[in-house]
Amino acid sequence: SSEVLEAIENVIEGVLQSLAQKKAPVLTVANRTDWRNIEFKDSVGLQMIPGCTTKQIRSDCPQSARRFALMLKILSMIYRMVQSNTYATKRDIYYSDTLLFGSQSVVDQIINDISCMLKIPRRSLHVLSTSKGFVAGNLSYTEEDGTKVNCTCSATVFTVPSNVQGIKNLTSHAKFILIVEKDATFQRLLDDDFFNKVSPCIMITGRGIPDLNTRLLVRKLWDSFQIPIFTLMDADPHGVEIMCVYKYGSVSMSFEAHHLTVPSVKWLGLLPSDLERLNICKDALIPFTKQDENKLTSILKRPYIACQPLWKKELEIMAASKLKAEIQVLTSLSSDYLSRVYLPNKLQFRGWL
């Protein structure tokens, strides 16, 4: 906490020095969304380069003066929370003055900018985000407030903790971790008691694009247990994008890559080549939209695809057919095909990439 307080004090000192010299204060933040500031490293994923380009948030410019003021406002809130050892969610910060902030996304962006500017992980700023991800299966742990969570004893779903950093005493006999793209598939596997039938496993879903807490938990489980991590996604560009976020990270959070990415993640399904292999009826597949085509073209150009020739091959199958499929397409073979046949076979015969 002393590091965080010192970092904030340094920023404010810079503002005061500018004022003393009768200059307009400026805050300098990294261009977090610029691909030119990103390098790909096989062992880490997408990470920000040390000498990345920056942008200035000026107090004397009409376009950025408001943002400058909001950054100082949130810095003061973080400073007070760190001093008093209290926490707030991003929503708490937004609702503390909705008229001032205008929208939740403004608060989210500023907090990420501050985290990047101070080079301090967001959770060390005492700002938590409400988790949307779920976890189930062979896992138990203790939350920071002492609450014991045992996912093992039932088919109950637990929300991913909002303070992943604070959980301890993680225990599991799981043989692997399965990341499931969508909530509906996750619930279906729970109903089929999948995590007990094949072999003990931990199941996680970010319910679409994963939030920070879900990604932190996947990374924490990898660090704790070092067991295989598989992904179960739709065979479409959006599903591939989500899998890449777990494995290699995202451009906007590349400054935190070391805490968030798990480059050992494997693509278990649904593979575009599976659709032909399983003789899925063409009528059950969905034609590409223009958006799908653009997304796939952009993924194929990304630096990590070059070191994944087998992934590239699958993406090329998808690009050639211009067809996509949801995991639910397997129910056209039988209602429990996913948990009874597809996943057990994939795991037994190493059908992952």
Residue type for 246, please? Y
Which of 140-144, 249-253, 313-317 comes out lowest in average pLDDT? 249-253
Instruction: Please indicate whether residue 100 or residue 255 has the higher confidence score (pLDDT).
Output: 100
The DSSP H or E segment spanning 287 is strand 286-287
In whole angstroms, what is the distance from residue 99 CA to residue 101 CA?
6
**Interval 27-50 mean pLDDT:** 83
Beta-sheet pairing, 168-171 with 140-142: antiparallel
Check residue 166 and give its pLDDT. 85
Res. 252: pLDDT tops 90:
no
Domain spans in the chain, listed from the N-terminal domain onward: 1-128, 134-349
In tens, the pLDDT along 104-148 reads 999 999 998 898 888 888 778 988 887 889 999 889 999 888 889
CB neighbour class for 73 (10 Å; exposed up to 12, middle 13-18, buried from 19): middle
**Interval 177-206 mean pLDDT:** 89
In tens, the pLDDT along 67-115 reads 999 999 999 999 999 999 888 888 899 998 888 899 999 999 999 889 8
Q: Which residues are catalytic?
A: 95
pLDDT band at 236, cuts 50/70/90? very high
What are the helix and strand counts (H, E) for the chain? Answer: 15, 17
- CATH architecture entry for 134-349: 3-Layer(aba) Sandwich (3.40)
**Interval 199-209 mean pLDDT:** 91
**Cα angle value 9/12/15 (rounded, 5°):** 155
Check residue 235 and give its pLDDT. 93
Which token pair is 62? 């009409």
Strand, coil or helix: what is 56? strand
279 contacts 218 by C-beta, under 8 angstroms: no
In tens, the pLDDT along 323-349 reads 999 999 888 888 888 888 899 999 989
**Interval 13-23 mean pLDDT:** 91
In whole angstroms, what is the distance from residue 108 CA to residue 87 CA?
16
In whole angstroms, what is the distance from residue 219 CA to residue 84 CA?
29
In tens, the pLDDT along 266-293 reads 999 899 999 988 988 888 889 999 999 9
- CA 319 from centroid of its chain's CA atoms: 25
Q: Which fold has domain 1-128?
A: Arc Repressor Mutant, subunit A (1.10.10)
Beta-sheet pairing, 158-159 with 134-137: antiparallel
Do the domains at 1-128 and 134-349 have one common CATH topology? Answer: no
In whole angstroms, what is the distance from residue 153 CA to residue 168 CA?
19
